[in-house]
Amino acid sequence: MEFLGRIQQFFREVAAEFRRVTWPTRADVANSTVVVVVLVFIVAFFLWAVDVGLSWPVEKLLKWGGRS
């Protein structure tokens, strides 16, 4: 029976914590979503540019090394 009492206490504490949470507004969530999407595109563009920029020298190096 002690086990059931501990489970009930746990759920009471969880409910109390949920009442203390300050939930973001819809506008906050929308703004955060826009920031995340923009940053994902910026990072994707940067990684694409690095990939394109490094592929040329790596390709030349591999072709040069294959001239045995």
pLDDT single digits (tens) 24-50: 999 999 999 999 999 999 999 999 999
Could you tell me the pLDDT band of residue 67, with boundaries at 50, 70 and 90?
A: low
C-alpha 54/C-alpha 52 separation (Å) is 6
* Structural domain of 12: 2-65
Question: What residue has token string 């940053």?
Answer: 39
Question: What residue has token string 């086990």?
Answer: 3
Number of compact structural domains in the chain: 1
pLDDT of the residue at 62: 87
Write out the E strands in the chain.
Answer: none
C-alpha 54/C-alpha 61 separation (Å) is 11
Length of the chain: 68
